[in-house]
Amino acid sequence: MSSLHLKKYDVCVIGGGYMGSAVALGLVNLGARVLVADKISNIQKASKANFGLVWSQSKGINHRPYSLWSQNAVRATRDFVKSLEEESTIDVELRLGKGMIACLGDKELEEKTQVIKRLHRAAASHGEEHPSQMLDHKEVQELVGKIPLGEAVTGASFSPIDGDLNPLLFLKAMRKVFQKKGGIFAHGCTVQAIEKNKENFVLATTQGKIEAPRIVMAAGHGNVDLAAMLDPNNPPEIPIVPEKGQLLVTERVKPFLSFPMSGLRQTECGTVMIGTTQEDTGFDVSTTVSVAARLSNRAIQIFPSLSNTRIVRSWGGLRVLTSDGLPIYDEIKGHPNAFVLATHSCVTLASLHFSLLPPWIMGKEKPKEIQPFNLERFHV
């Protein structure tokens, strides 16, 4: 791409993953001139290692605003994806309406039952209903169909709204429509310094200088360093840590599972994805045999007939985890019009990132749904 030297935009979005792409697409829809600066990273980007769940049932167990935010996002996904597919002509393989988390043994069943009860109580205290429910072994078997369920499966939590999609095609579709509508996507553009003149932020990048009155940090773990560029002597604190997830991919087999079971889903082309772990290993994304064994073992306990299916790939990626697990959507204190956005659930939440964040970024009032997800909560 040609030099972006001294190019002026209305908004510069730093980071072209699910977060940056969804927000950038919403911004061009509002008529803004938008540049997305997406750097080449030597670590596995979170958006390239995603499992593809569109998921609400296990979110916000102790935080009702996050539970609602996730449910509303899942409910908005069908319409968002429909228009995305029409405009991009890419089928992102969305399936909504069934999502399950299998429980192995009595202890897991009891714990999951308590979680679902807590979600129901929290909803009931507001005169509402939470869509998730518990299923027993027989009900799980009826829903999965022909493939025999392992005896170790004692039940499952079930959501009638959750589902999955092909995460790479989803990302491709958002980027394609963004560019089709006039957005500039700068591949391999690394922001090296941020300064301010009278009206604009001036970004020094590997592809020249970019000026914009508004900047959006949507760079996952990179947000920490980007925020520090605003004030190197007194860097704003962005509490994000990496959390490693590993997953396995099997050879292609005949379709046997038509909906995601949390860490187990079969893609349209027949592979089974088996995940995923939650590990604190810093920025190390290597895969380990012990984890592969544990993941495979769990999958076989759910569907014993999978024991004949071979694993062909495994990979590790890094989630963008905030210190309390909830999203961050905020303007950085002392730096008006510099926004920071971060969450580990960027596929699930993309529909609302697309619709609700852009008007706020362009100067409208901050939506009340996202007010709990500020930076101030980390400073109490």
Partner 1 sequence: MFKPFKPPANGKEVTIDFEGTLLEVSQNITVAAAVLGHAKKNFTRLSNVNSEKRAPCCFMGICHECLMEIDGIPNQQACLIEVREGMKIKRQLGHPGVEK
Give the footprint of partner 1 on this chain (CB under 8 A).
147, 251-256, 268-270, 303, 305-306, 308-310
Element (H, E) at 28: helix 18-29
Q: Using the minimum distance from each CB to partner 1, give the nearer residue, 16 or 263.
A: 263
Strands 163-164 and 53-54: antiparallel
Helix %, strand %, coil % for the chain, to 5? Answer: 35, 25, 40
Q: Shortest Cβ distance from residue 156 to partner 1 (Å)?
A: 19
Q: Using the minimum distance from each CB to partner 1, give the nearer residue, 32 or 302.
A: 302
28 contacts 10 by C-beta, under 8 angstroms = no
Q: Using the minimum distance from each CB to partner 1, give the nearer residue, 303 or 329.
A: 303
Q: Using the minimum distance from each CB to partner 1, give the nearer residue, 209 or 298.
A: 298
Which of these, 335, 331, 325, 344, lies nearest to 376 by C-alpha position? 331
Which residues lie closer than 8 Å to 93 by C-beta, 6 or more apart? 165, 166, 169, 267, 268
- The per-type count for the chain, helices as H runs and strands as E runs, is 8, 20
Listed in order, strand segments (DSSP E) in 160-228 are 163-164, 184-187, 191-196, 201-205, 208-212, 214-217
Give the amino acid at 103: C
Q: Using the minimum distance from each CB to partner 1, give the nearer residue, 235 or 255.
A: 255
Q: Shortest Cβ distance from residue 254 to partner 1 (Å)?
A: 4
Q: Using the minimum distance from each CB to partner 1, give the nearer residue, 195 or 268.
A: 268
54 contacts 161 by C-beta, under 8 angstroms = no
Q: Which two tokens stand for residue 244?
A: 């490693």
Q: Shortest Cβ distance from residue 376 to partner 1 (Å)?
A: 48
Q: Shortest Cβ distance from residue 306 to partner 1 (Å)?
A: 6
Q: Shortest Cβ distance from residue 256 to partner 1 (Å)?
A: 6
Q: Shortest Cβ distance from residue 68 to partner 1 (Å)?
A: 37
In total, the chain counts a number of residues equal to: 380
Which residues lie closer than 8 Å to 203 by C-beta, 6 or more apart? 12, 14, 37, 191, 193, 194, 209, 210, 211, 212, 215
Q: Which two tokens stand for residue 127?
A: 């005169």
Cα–Cα distance, 164 to 144 (Å, whole number): 15
Q: Shortest Cβ distance from residue 269 to partner 1 (Å)?
A: 6
Q: Shortest Cβ distance from residue 251 to partner 1 (Å)?
A: 4
Q: Using the minimum distance from each CB to partner 1, give the nearer residue, 278 or 305.
A: 305
59 contacts 35 by C-beta, under 8 angstroms = no
Q: Shortest Cβ distance from residue 119 to partner 1 (Å)?
A: 33
Q: Using the minimum distance from each CB to partner 1, give the nearer residue, 297 or 323.
A: 297
Q: Using the minimum distance from each CB to partner 1, give the nearer residue, 97 or 255.
A: 255
CA 128 to chain centre: 26
Q: List Cα–Cα distances, 240 to 164, 244, 351, in angstroms.
A: 25, 13, 22
Q: Using the minimum distance from each CB to partner 1, give the nearer residue, 195 or 251.
A: 251
Q: Which two tokens stand for residue 27?
A: 């911004």
Q: Shortest Cβ distance from residue 169 to partner 1 (Å)?
A: 14
